[in-house]
Chains A and B, each alone.
Chain A
């Protein structure tokens, strides 16, 4: 055997290896069946709907390939203006959001600044609340009856709608994404590298500009892209506050619900998809490869924090201002929920809440029910896929990984349109049902569980699972008894994140709701459009309170589950 020339043996052994692996899989038929089911469902619920969106833009009503729509739309100045608006908005929000996020992250990870915990907590508020809360608040503050514009300065006709408000809102709403991302990056930079620079005589500024900043560049780029994606695919804020400033996500919606033009709407969605998908995959595959952060598993020594006043003070003031702005935004909504008629009759009352309870509590129940149903499915499926991707060998693993990311990477608008196109006839007649919403939640959020799961699995020595196999456990038993308990924290973040995203999502579900199954976010949006700002604020508060309670319960539940498992095992 040893004398066979390597070149011919190579392909043979590769094929042979794949074949052998398949043979091993057949020996675990449940595992094989599971892999096939996951493939099928990813295909049907992620790939196929997106394909439908593409298809409808090039195939006309008679079923013939027809590029006239594309040509027409591309030559229309309205479309080009909208496209440019979206990109402009994305770039501006990305730059401001990343700068703020970086300063926050630097202050929190590198200095002895006071109130870090508090800043950290406030920065998370925009993440766990529906995005357009900020837009609502900005109207309450600066709108026609705004307490600042009208109340403080007495402007009669303040125009809050347009690009400037939108950039402000999205910066504030999405900087936490950049902050969390960069915080992780800055924490992961080995502190001894910076210590080495100090030791060689560099000043604090030199350490920052020659070591910390260059090492954080991949993180900064990925933050820029992440905020860019979030900003261009955001639907709620532009819908509420963009005014004449048209964006792609809003136009796609208006074309479909206002003009009943599915093809044009789909085309706007595709136009939105291309930049965001490109940005996503650049972020995912190119930039993350450039990362200088190495996971060694060695315990790093605690970092010596910067304590000089002239560095800490400006950072403190900056973080304080941003935090203050966030608190003002949310405080305003809280206040707005208890005020009779905003800006006109400022007496405190429970009327808004009474109104939500008597008139529209169904949507609250629906949101809660559907999110609660999809959350455990999403988290568990995410953990399973993470386990398969990291630990198992099978043909098409890369495809599984990519297609599981697809529904997450693609703007919600595209998923929403894709679902109505794909599931409006038998055998998959799902439009108008609760099922389509649960499925949309699950497949849109599954990546979060997978990412958390893969990250935590990478930190588990594979020989721990091999030890279990070696002692006679099947893949399933090993997953249930060893891997899953070790992924406890990932499971928790998967549960929390998919619940929060389900509760607050709007861009996809706005296409999928029906009379029977309306959702809370959509209700809030329509209240804002009807100018019932008090009711909208009350709904927002209800939503945030529900989310906080559920996060608390989940934390309790996951801890309980883990500890009770240990007890039962004895």
Chain B
């Protein structure tokens, strides 16, 4: 929704330089193809609950973490 009116900018997604036109974190997850994967997110080191991803706007240089469940000790 409205992604295409934004020009592309660069952010870090899981440490990888990524070019995006997504204006929000929710749009970024859709654009990147996370689909129905159950993930948790953080923006610039701060937790972003899933319920506020839609209103979390992205800026050039943002660092986004997208994590999911894994084995652990």
Q: Do A and B bind each other?
A: no
Residues of B within 8 A of A (CB): none
Residues of A within 8 A of B (CB): none
